[in-house]
Amino acid sequence: MTGAILLATSLGCAAPLPNQLSSGNITTTATAFQTSYNSTSNRPTTKTATISVEGEKTSITLRLYDQYSNLFTTYFPDKEFLAQGSSSGEGTGVRFIANFGGSKNENAYVHIAFLNNLKTLQQLKSFVNAKNGLIASNRWRVVDRTQKVPYAWAREKIVFSKGKNIVGNVYLGQENGKVFYVITNYPVEYGDGFAPRADLILQNLQVASVQ
């Protein structure tokens, strides 16, 4: 288990916090999202979403991420996130790291991971919640748990905090015969800007059918 957990350990030291993220409340509504896409092979390269900042709506371009299309595809704001994927015998993981205003912060990310040794939801739960599991190894403090999650692939959402500055969520996912987890991790100062953008990645996540 220790080796697998390394796929999701914290990423180094915190980078400076860009000021532009702390301005106003931001809500997002995706547009041109076609729920009829049942496979990962027929999704367009780009699409748009609308972000509303203090009542002013702005169109944002999302780019398809399909590097590991045998597992999943999603869309992300490629002007504001950097996608970094890795795959090994233990599994496959992708981090979408915040790069707002060209300032990369590895403490603000969305992490999607498929581990090869996790085949069932119960195995996934044990991996996340065990004494030496994902939550414990990252020294996260569980704030809340709920099965009411607005994503069809998600079975549970675990809200966590780390110290006074870091907050986030762990989502337990199960779809099309695969189990996986998703982490959102960010400094509290990023809340207004990061959370709705991360939501675009999660709401567009589609898991490939078992081959």
The pLDDT of residue 31: 37
Record the pTM: 0.82
* Displacement of CA 35 from its chain's centroid (Å): 19
Domain residues for the domain of 72 are 2-207
139: alpha, beta or left, given left = phi > 0 and alpha = psi -120 to 50? left
Residues 62 and 46 sit within 8 Å (Cβ to Cβ)? yes
Cα three-residue angle 183-189-84, rounded to 5 degrees: 40
Confidence class of residue 58 from pLDDT cuts 50, 70 and 90? confident
pLDDT tens readout for residues 74-96: 999 999 999 999 999 999 999 99
Tokens coding 55: 């009542």
Across 39-62, b (16+ Cβ under 10 Å) vs e yields ebeebeeebebebebeeeeeebeb
Task: Check which CATH number belongs to the domain holding 88 and give it.
Answer: 3.40.1000
The pLDDT of residue 56: 66
Residues 200 and 75 sit within 8 Å (Cβ to Cβ)? yes
CA distance 30 to 178: 26
Residues 7 and 91 sit within 8 Å (Cβ to Cβ)? yes
- Counting residues of the chain whose pLDDT is more than 90, the rounded percentage is 70
> What are phi and psi for residue 158, nearest 5 degrees?
-115, 115
Report the mean per-residue pLDDT for the chain: 83
Q: Which amino acid is at 81?
A: F
CA distance 24 to 178: 38
**Tally of structural domains, the chain:** 1
Residues 152 and 173 sit within 8 Å (Cβ to Cβ)? no
